[in-house]
Amino acid sequence: MTTPSRGRRRAPSRMERAAGKAAALQRPRVILALLLLLALVCVMLLDGYLRAEVGGDQRVRTGAASSDVPDDILNGGPIVTFRGGQATTVSVPDKTIALTFDDGPNPTWTPQVLEILEKYDVPATFFLVGSMVSRYPGIVEDMVGQGHEVGIHTFTHVDLSYQSDTRVRREMEQTQLALAGAAGITTTLFRAPYSSETDAIDNYSWPVYKKLGQDGYTSVFVDTDSDDWKRPGVSKIVQWATPTKNKGASVLFHDAGGERSQTIEALPQYIEKMRAKGYTFTTISGVMELRNAAAPGAFDGSRLQAAHREATGAVLYEGKALVAAVAVAEAAVPTLSVGLMVVGVAVMGRFGMMLILARRHYRQRNRRRFSWGPTVTEPVSVIVPAYNEKECIANTLTSLAHSTHPIEIIVVDDGSTDGTADIAESLGMPNVRVIRQANAGKPAALNNGVRNAAHDIVVMMDGDTVFEPDTVRQLVQPFADPEVGAVAGNAKVGNRTTVIGAWQHIEYVMGFNLDRRMYDLLRCMPTIPGAIGAFRREAVLQVGGMSEDTLAEDTDITIAMHRAGWRVVYQEHARAWTEAPGSLKQLWSQRYRWSYGTMQALWKHRKSLTDKGPSGRFGRVGMPLVVLFQIVTPVFAPLIDLFTLYSMVFIDFRAALLAWCAVLGVQLLCAAYAFRLDREKYRYLLMMPLQQLAYRQMMYLVLIHSCVTALTGGRLRWQKLKRTGEVGTPAGAS
Task: Give the pLDDT mean for 653-677.
Answer: 85
- Tell me the Cα Rg of the chain: 37
pLDDT attached to residue 714: 55
Lowest-confidence segment of 587-601, 672-686, 706-720 by average pLDDT: 706-720
pLDDT attached to residue 305: 60
DSSP state of 695: I
pLDDT reading at 7 higher than 50: no
pLDDT attached to residue 353: 86
Q: Are 396 and 466 in contact (CB under 8 A)?
A: yes
Average pLDDT in the chain: 85
Residue 220 belongs to what H/E stretch?
strand 218-220
Nearest of 551, 549, 533, 574 to residue 450 by alpha carbon: 533
Task: Give the pLDDT mean for 71-85.
Answer: 91
Residue bearing the bigger pLDDT, 182 or 719: 182
Nearest 5°: the CA angle 272, 278, 280 is 75
Confidence of residue 585 (pLDDT cuts 50, 70, 90): confident
Nearest of 265, 231, 235 to residue 109 by alpha carbon: 265
Which residues lie closer than 8 Å to 453 by C-beta, 6 or more apart?
Answer: 381, 383, 408, 410, 537
DSSP state of 714: -
Which residues lie closer than 8 Å to 597 by C-beta, 6 or more apart?
Answer: 550, 551, 552, 553, 555, 556, 716
Which residues lie closer than 8 Å to 554 by C-beta, 6 or more apart?
Answer: 527, 528, 529, 530, 533
pLDDT attached to residue 87: 92
pLDDT attached to residue 315: 93
Which residues lie closer than 8 Å to 535 by C-beta, 6 or more apart?
Answer: 457, 458, 459, 460, 485, 486, 487, 528, 557, 561
pLDDT attached to residue 408: 96
Nearest of 462, 458, 597, 614 to residue 541 by alpha carbon: 458
pLDDT reading at 723 higher than 80: no
pLDDT reading at 560 higher than 90: yes
Gap between the Cα atoms of 380 and 218, Å rounded: 91
pLDDT attached to residue 98: 96
Gap between the Cα atoms of 594 and 613, Å rounded: 28
Confidence of residue 37 (pLDDT cuts 50, 70, 90): low
Lowest-confidence segment of 227-236, 258-267, 701-710, 722-731 by average pLDDT: 722-731
* 254 is annotated as an active-site residue: yes
pLDDT reading at 317 higher than 80: yes
Gap between the Cα atoms of 629 and 349, Å rounded: 10
pLDDT reading at 3 higher than 50: no
Residue 409, strand partner residues? 382, 432
pLDDT attached to residue 202: 93
Gap between the Cα atoms of 375 and 493, Å rounded: 29
Gap between the Cα atoms of 229 and 234, Å rounded: 12
Task: Give the pLDDT mean for 661-674.
Answer: 86
* Residue 576 Cα distances to 462, 466, 473, 660, 661, angstroms: 10, 6, 12, 34, 33
pLDDT reading at 9 higher than 50: no
Lowest-confidence segment of 55-59, 262-266, 496-500, 568-572 by average pLDDT: 55-59
Whole-number percent of the chain with pLDDT over 70: 88
Task: Give the pLDDT mean for 1-18.
Answer: 43
pLDDT attached to residue 187: 96
Active-site annotation holder among 254, 308, 405, 705:
254
| pLDDT tens track for 338-384 | 777 777 788 788 888 888 998 899 899 888 888 999 999 999 999 99
Confidence of residue 337 (pLDDT cuts 50, 70, 90): confident
The SS3 of residue 450 is helix
pLDDT reading at 302 higher than 80: no
Question: Hey, how many other C-beta atoms are within 10 angstroms of the C-beta on 724?
Answer: 11
Task: Give the pLDDT mean for 56-77.
Answer: 86
Lowest-confidence segment of 2-6, 57-61, 550-554, 603-607 by average pLDDT: 2-6
| pLDDT tens track for 426-484 | 988 989 999 999 998 899 999 999 999 999 999 999 988 999 999 999 999 999 999 99
* 215 is annotated as an active-site residue: no
pLDDT attached to residue 19: 45
Confidence of residue 56 (pLDDT cuts 50, 70, 90): low
pLDDT reading at 330 higher than 90: no
pLDDT reading at 260 higher than 60: yes
pLDDT attached to residue 253: 97
pLDDT reading at 511 higher than 90: no
pLDDT reading at 652 higher than 80: no
Active-site annotation holder among 102, 228, 464, 515:
102
* pTM for the structure as a whole: 0.67
